[in-house]
Amino acid sequence: MGKTIKNQIPWTKTLYNSFVDDAILTSLEKKVLYARVWERDKWTITRMAMEFNVGRSTINNCIARIRKKYDYLHNENPSKYPKRLTCK
């Protein structure tokens, strides 16, 4: 099983709130991030797609955008945002 956003980044409430404020996330990105970080055991990509009334590919694209935004913020401020662990 690949690493999820939850496992790649040591999320805390402070880091989560800072990221949401700094990354300028869309409402869907906020919902997906919250579901992936805080509700990881309960929410699959299929369930998110059904709950948010979008396709699975939209959820996957949204997760990819969140990762890109996190990587950008990490490059801009590495002391605030820890390096994301990658799958090998």
- Domains along the chain? 7-76 (1.10.10)
pTM over 0.75: yes
Comparing 50 with 4, which gets the higher pLDDT? Answer: 50
- Give the C-alpha separation, 42 to 35, whole Å: 8
- Of 6-10, 50-54, 61-65, where does mean pLDDT reach its minimum? 6-10
End-to-end CA distance of the chain: 11
* pLDDT score recorded for residue 1: 42
